[in-house]
Structure 1
Amino acid sequence: MDFNKLYLYILKSPGIDVCLILFCIAFVTLPPISPFKQYDLLRYGKTTTGEVAQISSLLGSDYIDYHFVTEDGVLVKRTEKTLDLGPYNLDKNKLPQKINIVYLEGDPENSWVGIPRNYPKLHEFWKNYLIENTVASLVLFAFCRIAIIIYRRGGNGKTNKKIITQMTISG
């Protein structure tokens, strides 16, 4: 089997573009807290008061260790990753702290440390989500597509031969 021909076929086929756009969509729509979980928590979530036990930082991210008790008396311990503690009004120096926690009644593991103050209304949530993720998917696809086009043009060797020829003639 000639792997060089197979490589050229895969490189020049439109299937790579389809795979690329699917990858871009999956990359943008699978954040740490998926929008579907956020929607469920906004729509059906119950609010309770929990306690933040520890806040640790690693590589620009903050990890919030917290626990709360559901209405059924079940103790739930969780860790949530966030990039900014500002919206949650948390102070690393004052521990333990009380905080509002939103959770689903049937699935308390699906919880969220207090909804930030400036969070959009439920009817604005999907509109903002669709607009932001569509734009992000298109931008990511455009960058990847441009990189593939540049690679394909440089891959045939004609450009490199022209540069080498011009350098030898002028040098």
Structure 2
Amino acid sequence: MPATSRARVPAACLAMLLVLAGCGDPDGGTVTTDQSPTAAGSAPAGSASDPADGDATGQPPAGRTGGTLSPTEPPLIGTPTAPPSHPTELRKANVLAGRLSRGGSGPCYTLVTDDGREYALHGTGKGTFATGTWVRVTTAPATAEVDCGPGVPVSILKMSPVS
């Protein structure tokens, strides 16, 4: 993790803040040049010659850490040795999503999922969907007396377009 650097305030801004705050002299007057941080050849705070802030390369002085937030490194996640043995994203078994290869106003629709499975959907009053529409369907077991064509037969509980 790279070392973080502190924001440096120019000496002129610090002097101006002292003037505005009335910290120059006890009477609330101005700050003179001998009272300012850059007086008498001293380097401004945060410059390369300030031993408390490190050198010009941004490296911390000897004996100081690089400004990390934690003294220990975070654990690394190893490389997987094999694919997961079960799905990593759990989903409801009765919810399907895919593209309608046969749409219309129902009651029969045909849905093709991303993995290429085809479902013969049956549901009255579920809406009108154009062929090619992406939908999410909550399903129930199919009724035996209805045949909606090729595919795994299921009944529609709810069907809505996916935007």
Classify the TM-score, shorter chain.
under 0.3
Query: Which protein is richer in helix relative to its size?
Result: 1
Return the index of the structure with the highest Cα Rg.
2
